[in-house]
Amino acid sequence: MMSKVLRRSVGIATPSFSRRCFAQSAIVSTLQAKIKALAVKKAPQLTALRKEHANVPIGEATIGAAIGGARGIKCLLSETSLLDPMEGIRYRGRTLEECNEQLPKAPGGKVGLPEASFWLLLTDEMPTEAETKALNEELHKRSAIPEHVLKIIDGLPKDMHPMTQLAMGLLALQPDSKFGKAYREGTVKKSDYWESTLEDALTLVAQMPLLTARIFRNVFFNGKHVATDTSLDWAGNYAQMLGVNNDESFKEVTRLYLMLHADHEGGNVSAHATHLVGSALSDPYLAYSAGVCGLAGPLHGLANQECLRWLKATKKTLGDAEPTVEMLTKFAKVIPGFGHGVLRQSDPCHRDAALLPLIIFATLKFGCP
């Protein structure tokens, strides 16, 4: 979703938290240069589309499609990823299998790092091992959560849904937005909006593991937290802070899960909501919290939770009997996993996740919803 926030502008543990100000690091300068070079490369294509093909129809709008929420209407320009009904998602033209093979990995690991996929989505380039290491170090530098935000999160009711807590946490972080500050002060040109947006996006990506892990430990482990470990990669550290177990395989499956879901075109609820709110020049904190609220719906991100609840309910109802479609349809409920709004083949995000059963096992074992 963060790539959607950036797109609106590009055109295609510090001790003080009152106003974050990061010295420009070498890796951020490199990232900026690559994003700018990509924008320069893509600009003539966009100009040509506007001048030469602006009136070319790309689909047909019907009353039924309008009533159905614009289902099936082609009206999206997406650079970072593309969702094909038959083959699933591609990141910058690469299949998930190709991404997993080509992305840098943790020492001894076999899974492409999600922070490396973030670099790929922003630059259309596979990062080197050195760039990935430097980006990871940069994210650790930006990861600290202000004390007043921690107090807000720790003071929330434990039965409040974690997604609600996450949206509130993101909004509590919003006063530190670099884009918001620059826009209010009138110190930035429109053509440079993307630079402070990138600053916010990087900081948000850095803070998300600490914020979400804290919420998780508050809800399921009575507020007993696991300290961040800056020697680990971004996703590996997140797995460590969750504290489900200290097994390397859990870190690997966390990396895999986050890499597979790094982007999902721009048309799904959360990505579209993020992009839509960002188009009003709301800063990335406001835009991303909107996306999180969309993700919390049972027809979107919450579907994972609903699927696990369905599995538990089915097990409770059927006991040790082997379920059949006929038996399950007697419940008069949707069977999770049967049917998809876009895909017509098995979702590669699930098909390629050979370790995904470990997530389900850990979730059921430790009582997460």
DSSP 185-233: HT-S-GGGHHHHHHHHHHHHHHHHHHHHHHHHHHHHSTT------TTS-
Reading the block at residue 185, the tokens are 């002060």
Are residue 180 and residue 279 in the same domain, yes or no?
A: yes
Are residue 242 and residue 346 in the same domain, yes or no?
A: no
CATH code of 199's domain: 1.10.580.10
Are residue 228 and residue 144 in the same domain, yes or no?
A: yes
E strand or H helix at 245, and its extent? none
Q: What is the rounded CA–CA span in Å between residue 344 and residue 365? A: 32
Over residues 59-114, the pLDDT tens digits come to 888 999 889 888 778 888 888 998 877 778 899 999 999 999 999 999 999 999 99
Are residue 109 and residue 6 in the same domain, yes or no?
A: yes
DSSP state of 95: E
Q: What is the rounded CA–CA span in Å between residue 98 and residue 123? A: 17
Residues in the chain with pLDDT < 70? 1-23, 328-369
Q: Coil, helix or strand for 181?
A: helix
Q: What is the rounded CA–CA span in Å between residue 347 and residue 158? A: 33
> 305: phi > 0 → left, psi -120 to 50 → alpha, else beta; which?
alpha
Are residue 241 and residue 333 in the same domain, yes or no?
A: no
Are residue 267 and residue 320 in the same domain, yes or no?
A: no
Q: What is the pLDDT of residue 356?
A: 52
Q: What is the pLDDT of residue 301?
A: 85
Classify residue 319 as exposed, middle or buried by CB count within 10 Å of its CB (0-12, 13-18, 19+): exposed
Q: What is the pLDDT of residue 270?
A: 92
DSSP state of 176: G
Domain that holds residue 205: 2-295
Are residue 39 and residue 133 in the same domain, yes or no?
A: yes
Q: Is the Cα torsion angle 295, 296, 297, 302 positive or negative in sign?
A: positive
Specify the amino acid at residue 169: G
How do strand 81-84 and strand 94-95 relate by DSSP bridges? unpaired
Q: What is the pLDDT of residue 20?
A: 46
> In the chain, what are the helix, strand and coil shares in percent, each to the nearest 5?
60, 5, 40
Are residue 264 and residue 339 in the same domain, yes or no?
A: no
Which of 261, 295, 329 terminates a domain? The answer is 295
DSSP state of 105: B
Q: What is the pLDDT of residue 6?
A: 55
Are residue 224 and residue 331 in the same domain, yes or no?
A: no
Are residue 188 and residue 308 in the same domain, yes or no?
A: no
Q: What is the pLDDT of residue 76?
A: 80
What are the phi and psi torsion angles at 117 (to 5°)? Answer: -70, -30
When divided into structural domains, the chain yields a total of 2
Which of 247, 274, 295 terminates a domain? The answer is 295
DSSP state of 363: H
Which of 275, 295, 315 terminates a domain? The answer is 295
Q: Of 194, 9, 10, 4, which Cα lies nearest the Cα of 80?
A: 4
Q: What is the rounded CA–CA span in Å between residue 127 and residue 146? A: 30
User: Torsion angle of alpha carbons 270, 272, 275, 276, nearest 10°?
Assistant: -110
Specify the amino acid at residue 36: K
E strand or H helix at 47, and its extent? helix 26-53
**Residues with active-site annotation:** 340
Q: What is the rounded CA–CA span in Å between residue 107 and residue 113? A: 11
Are residue 60 and residue 192 in the same domain, yes or no?
A: yes
Are residue 200 and residue 51 in the same domain, yes or no?
A: yes
Q: What is the pLDDT of residue 364?
A: 42
